[in-house]
Chains A and B, each alone.
Chain A
Amino acid sequence: MKGRHVYINGVGFHPFGRFPDKSLKTLAATAALAALDDAGIGISGIDAALCANAYSGLLNGQESIRGETWLRGIGLGAIPVMNVENACASGSTAVHLACMGIASGNYDTVLVVGAEKMFVNDTGRTLAALANSADTEVMGNIGMQFSAVDAIRVREMMAEEDVGAEAFEWITMKNHDHAVSNPIAQYRKPISMEQVRASRMIADPIRLLMCSAISDGAAALVISSQPGRGGVRVRASALTSSPWRLAPGALPGPTLAADKAYAQAGIGPSDLDLAEVHDAVSPAELMHYRELRFCEDGEVAKFVAERASALGGRLPVNPSGGLNSRGHPVGATGVAQLLELTLQLRGDAGARQVPGARLALAHNSGGWIGEDPAVSAVHILERTA
C-alpha cells in the first residue's frame, strides 16, 4: 500500500443477532464506544468517521445521513462523517477509504463503524432489500435471490472440483464449531453434518443451515497512522468492481482483488496464517479457496480432505464462524472480519486463537453485476509488534 503506514488500534462490536428492542443508533454507538475504549482514546482523538450501512433506507426509514445520526449520540460532531454503501462490502469499502485517507496523510485517526438492522418482522421485505444489491434492471422481477446466485456459482465450482454435499455439510459444521467461542457470533452452538443435511432446501444445493443469517449488529475499528497494541498494520487494501469478462480466461473480481492485495503486501497466499472470507452461503467458502489462491484449481477436495481450513489446520478460514455462523448484518460484515483478524494478530482471540498468527487476509464481496460480485475487497493485516 502506498503512502504512510496504517494500523488498526481499536476494535469494538455489538453482538450479532436479533435485537427488536434496540435501534440501529444504539447498535452503532455500542460498537463505536467499545472501539474507542479499546484504542484508549476519546472522540476528540478522531479526525473523521466512515459509516457503513446498506439497507437502512429500505428497512429502517433512514435513507440519508445515517452515520451522522449514529454518531451524534456518542457526542461526535463537527468532524467529517461520511456514509458508505457498497452492498455486503460496505464495511470493507469504508475501511478501504479510511486507509486511503490515512495513507495519504489527510487524516491521522479515523473511526469506522459498520451497522445494520435487518429484522423488521417481515422476512420478505428483508429479502427484497437484499435483492436490491444487484442491477435491478437485470435481476429484478425474475425471481432471483442471492441464495440462488450462490447456488448457481457453487454448481459451477462443482462442475470443476470433486466436491458435493458432504463437503458442504462439513464446511457448515466447521464454521459453527469456530463460532462457539466468539462473543460477537449469532449462532454459538455446534451443529452436526446430519443436522445440516436435514435442514430444508432453499436453492438446490443450498440448505437452510448453509445460509448466512439475517442479523442485527455492529462492528467498529479505530484506524490510525501510529501503531497501537500489537502493532496490527494494514499491509494491503484492495477493492475491485465487477470486471467486464470479455476475453476467455478473464479472471473473476475476487481474484483480481486478491492479486492486487498480495502485490501490495509483497507476500503470497502461502505466507498467510489465517483468513476470513465471504461465505454468504457456507459452500461459497470452497469457491473462495480457489479465487483467493489458497489452493490450485482442481485441489479444493484435497484442501477439504486435509481439513486445512479448520482451526488447527494449515490455513484456518473463518475462525470467527464466518457469515454463516457469526451472522451477516450487511454493513457490519466487512468491519467484523477485520475485527476478528485484529484480535487474532494481537493474540486476543481466546479459544479460537490461531497460535502465532502474523499475516491474515479478509475477503468481503458485495452485490452482483455481470458474472461477478459487484464489489470485491481484500485486506491483508500483519502483526508488527
Chain B
Amino acid sequence: MQKANPHLFVLEGELPDAPGLRGTRCRQCAQVVLLQVSACPRCAGRDLEAVCIGQRATLGESSEVFHSLDGFEAPYFIGMIKTEQGPATFAPIAAAPGTALKAGMSLQFTLLPRSDGRVGFAYAIAEGAA
C-alpha cells in the first residue's frame, strides 16, 4: 500500500503500536519528537529509537478550508493537533462540512483512502468526544 506521506505516518507492522505518526524517542532523556531525527533537540543525544506516536491526540484550533488542494475537496478541515506523547502538528481532521469543531476535542488517528489509490491519514473525532 503506497502512502501519501511516507515519512510522516506508519502503517500496522512498521513499528510497534502502529498505525500512527512516525516519531523519535531519545533513550538518554526520553524526549519524544515528530519524524525521524538524527540528534535529540533537548540533550543532543544520538541514541534514538523510532516510535509510533499520535494514535490519540487532542484538537487545538482548526479551520474549515474552502479551496481544494492535494486531493482534499473543499470544504474540509485542518487542525493543530497535540499528540498524547507531546509533539504537535497540523493534520487533516475528518469531519463533515460545517461541523462545529472545538479545541480540546479528543481525536484518534485514522487511515484515509485517497482518490489516487494511495493511503493518507486524518484525525477523527473520538467516540464520545464532546
Contacts and interface: CB of A to CB of B under 8 A. Distances in A.
A143 B72 contact: yes
B2 to A, nearest CB: 11
Interface residues on A, range: 20 to 34
A139 B89 CA distance: 9
Contact of A142 (B41, B62, B88, B120): B120
Interface stretch (A27-35, A53-61, A198-206, A297-305): A198-206
Contact of A137 (B8, B61, B66, B67): B8
Given A137-B8, A159-B103, A246-B31, A142 B63 contact: no
Given A131-B69, A148-B78, A203-B66, A138 B61 contact: no
A204 B90 CA distance: 15
Contacts of B91: 142
B35 A152 contact: no
Contact of A203 (B34, B65, B92, B120): B65
> Is the contact region of chain B dominated by helix, strand, or loop, or is it mixed?
strand
A326 B58 CA distance: 38
Contact of B7 (A137, A205, A206): A137
Contacts of B64: 201, 203-204
B90 A156 contact: no
B53 to A, nearest CB: 13
B4 interface: yes
Interface in A109-128: 124, 127-128
Nearest to A150: B63
B7 A147 contact: no
Nearest to A207: B66
A177 to B, nearest CB: 27
A112 B83 CA distance: 43
A73 interface: no
B28 interface: no
Interface in A175-225: 200-206
A144 B89 CA distance: 11
A244 B41 contact: yes
Contact of B92 (A143, A201, A204): A143
A137 B5 CA distance: 7
B58 to A, nearest CB: 14
A152 B67 contact: no
B65 A155 contact: no
Interface in B75-116: 76, 78-80, 88-92, 103
15 contacts: A127-B69, A137-B5, A139-B90, A141-B71, A142-B5, A142-B120, A143-B69, A147-B65, A149-B90, A152-B61, A155-B61, A159-B103, A202-B65, A203-B65, A246-B31
Q: Which 5 pairs show the lowest CB-CB distances between chains A and B?
A: A143-B72, A151-B63, A155-B61, A137-B7, A244-B41
Interface of A: 124, 127-128, 131, 137-145, 147-149, 151-153, 155-156, 159, 200-206, 244, 246, 371
Interface of B: 4-5, 7-8, 31, 33-35, 41-42, 60-67, 69-72, 76, 78-80, 88-92, 103, 120
